[in-house]
Amino acid sequence: MKKIIFLGIFVFLSTLIIAQEKEEKQLTNWKGNRPDGHAPISVMGDHYHSKGGIMFSYRYMSMNMKGLLSGSDAISNTEAHDAGYMVTPLDMPMKMHMLGAMYAPTDRITLVAMAMYTENDMDLQMRMMGNIVPFSTSSSGFGDLKLGMIYKFLNKNRQSLHGSLNFSLPTGSIEEMDVTPMSSPNEVQLPYPMQLGSGTFDTEFGVTYLGQEETISWGNQLKATVRFGDNSYDYSLGNKYELNNWFAVKTADWLSFSARLQGLIVDEIDGANPNLNPMMVTTADTTNSGGTFINGGLGFNLYAPKGSLKGFRLGFEYATPLYQDVNGIQLEQKETITVGLQYAL
């Protein structure tokens, strides 16, 4: 009888110890189920899921470019024409719709997929025989398809570290065409910024560190996109190197506010499309591509921890350039607005 009582006490105490250790582990682990459990909505690959976790997402991004820069200095279209270009851009609004899905077959691995639909519009002006002729071009369609995975290295002491590896498949068109005053009524191939894809198989490497306290969180993400080979028009877009840093404050179980600082380096386009005349328009000259950028963003996340909307998350961010130093002559980047809806199962 004493043995049975002793065994019962031992089992009871063991259960309490295991439960306490589990509770302490849950308290000290980084958590994604809070409004600041995800990065600002513009940051991709910022989080992972536990085994069996599924998430679907939709993002809408609107980016505007207007006016011209030479290096970090603003210049007029007249100055760009005087540099030898017959056509110069005035502005370029771009809209992007992104659909994403994530699935975690294990606690360490989360698979990701993303498809996007892009709408590009560009207003330009042509200087011909002393006259200025304004005109517009546009392109739209699906971009490159991204497939990849996120691997969790650690999650302890309210800190998390994970890596990401994504492959971009060249499903986006690089043959977009439109009518210009010089080609009318025929269409001609549009310059590089108006194309929908890269035309190459690209690889994206990333590593993300996350930290969290009771009401604040932060993150750092380093990412590189590397292009392999040339596409069917004998060029490849420049490699990209990106560092994102963000800080968020959780003001309620359903609301957080964030600030983000991004550094971005983009290499020049390698090669050249033989169908484009580099002296016709600035956007057809590969020396006018790439640069160094520093951007800042402010946003918020809304999260439903319970109720009929449990698992839904709405994110918003307004971003603006803080510094731009472009190669050659390019459109100046203005504001970028990103809105996204996520649903986790």
Of 301, 303, 296, the C-alpha closest to 318 is 296
Angle at 294 between CA 289 and CA 298, to 5 degrees: 130
Say whether pLDDT at 40 is over 60: yes
Of 171, 178, 213, the C-alpha closest to 29 is 213
Strand locations in the chain (E): 54-70, 73-75, 87-103, 109-128, 131-142, 145-156, 159-169, 177-179, 187-189, 201-212, 216-228, 235-236, 240-252, 255-266, 270-271, 291-303, 312-326, 329-344
Per the prediction, the chain carries an average pLDDT of 92
pLDDT band at 20 (very low <50, low <70, confident <90, very high): very low
The kind and range of the H/E element at 167 are strand 159-169
Q: Quote the DSSP letter at residue 327.
A: S
The 10 Å Cβ neighbour count of residue 37 is 21
Tens digits of per-residue pLDDT, 116-170? Answer: 999 999 999 999 888 999 999 999 999 999 999 999 999 999 999 999 999 999 9
In our burial notation (b when 16+ CB lie closer than 10 A, e otherwise), range 323-334 reads ebebbbbbbbbe
Q: Quote the DSSP letter at residue 197.
A: S
* Type of residue found at 116: M
Q: What is the CA radius of gyration of the chain?
A: 25
Read off the pTM. Answer: 0.89
Work out the percent of the chain whose per-residue pLDDT is above 90: 88
Weakest-pLDDT range from 29-38, 111-120, 297-306, 313-322: 29-38
* Type of residue found at 92: M
Tens digits of per-residue pLDDT, 262-289? Answer: 999 999 999 999 999 999 999 999 999 9
**Quick check: helix, strand or coil at residue 42?**
coil
